C-alpha cells in the first residue's frame, strides 16, 4: 500500500472517532426488569395414549418378540454350523454351510428389524402430529417400545458379529 493511501485511510479512520459525543443506552436496570415474576402454571398431566396408538404399539412389540423368538430358534442351528466350520478353510463345505446358517439367522430376525423400523416411523409421525397440535401424548409409550426393540436388534447384531468373527474371513 502506498504512503498516500495509507495516510488517507488513517485520516478516514480518525474522522470516525472524532464525531459528536453520542449518548449510549444505560446499563442500569429498567423498571420491567424489576417487576415481580408471575408463577408459571404446572404442566398438565400427559394425555393417555389413544386406543388405536396403543394397539399399533402392541402390534409392533409382538412382531419384535416374534422376530426375537425366531432368531433364538435359528441361533442354535447356526452356532452348531459355525462350530463345525471353525478350523476349516474358506469356501470349504463346512464354511459355506456356516455362512448359509448365518444368512438364515439374519433372515429369521427380519420381524424384529421390521418392527423397529415401524416404531421409528410411528415415533416421527406422532412427533410431527404433536408439534402440529393434531395429537397429544403417546411419545413416551412409543419411545419405550422402540428402545426395547432397539435393544433386541442390537443384541442380535452382536451375536451375529461374534459368530462371524469365529469363522475364517476370505
Percent of the chain with pLDDT over 70: 87
Band the pLDDT of 99: cuts 50, 70, 90: very high
pLDDT tens, position by position, 121-145: 999 999 999 888 888 889 999 999 9
Element spanning 6, H or E: helix 3-17
Contact 112, 64 (CB under 8 A): yes
Rounded alpha-carbon distances, angstroms, from residue 151 to 50, 51, 88, 109, 121 = 25, 25, 33, 13, 17
Question: Confidence class of residue 56 from pLDDT cuts 50, 70 and 90?
Answer: very high
The domain spans of the chain are 51-165
Amino acid at each position: 500500500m502506498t504512503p498516500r493511501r495509507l495516510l488517507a485511510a488513517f485520516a478516514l479512520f480518525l474522522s470516525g472517532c472524532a464525531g459528536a459525543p453520542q449518548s449510549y443506552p444505560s446499563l442500569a436496570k429498567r423498571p420491567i426488569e424489576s417487576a415481580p415474576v408471575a408463577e408459571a402454571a404446572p404442566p398438565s398431566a400427559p394425555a393417555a395414549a389413544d386406543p388405536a396408538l396403543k394397539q399399533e404399539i402392541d402390534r409392533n412389540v409382538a412382531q419384535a418378540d416374534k422376530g426375537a423368538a425366531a432368531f433364538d430358534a435359528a441361533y442354535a442351528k447356526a452356532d452348531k454350523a459355525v462350530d463345525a466350520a471353525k478350523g476349516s478353510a474358506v469356501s470349504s463345505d463346512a464354511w459355506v454351510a456356516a455362512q448359509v446358517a448365518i444368512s438364515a439367522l439374519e433372515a429369521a430376525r427380519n420381524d424384529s428389524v421390521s418392527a423397529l423400523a415401524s416404531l421409528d416411523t410411528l415415533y416421527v409421525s406422532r412427533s410431527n402430529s404433536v408439534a402440529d397440535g393434531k395429537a397429544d401424548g403417546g411419545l413416551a409409550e412409543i419411545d419405550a417400545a422402540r428402545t426395547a426393540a432397539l435393544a433386541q436388534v442390537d443384541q442380535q447384531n452382536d451375536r451375529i458379529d461374534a459368530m462371524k468373527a469365529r469363522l475364517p474371513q476370505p
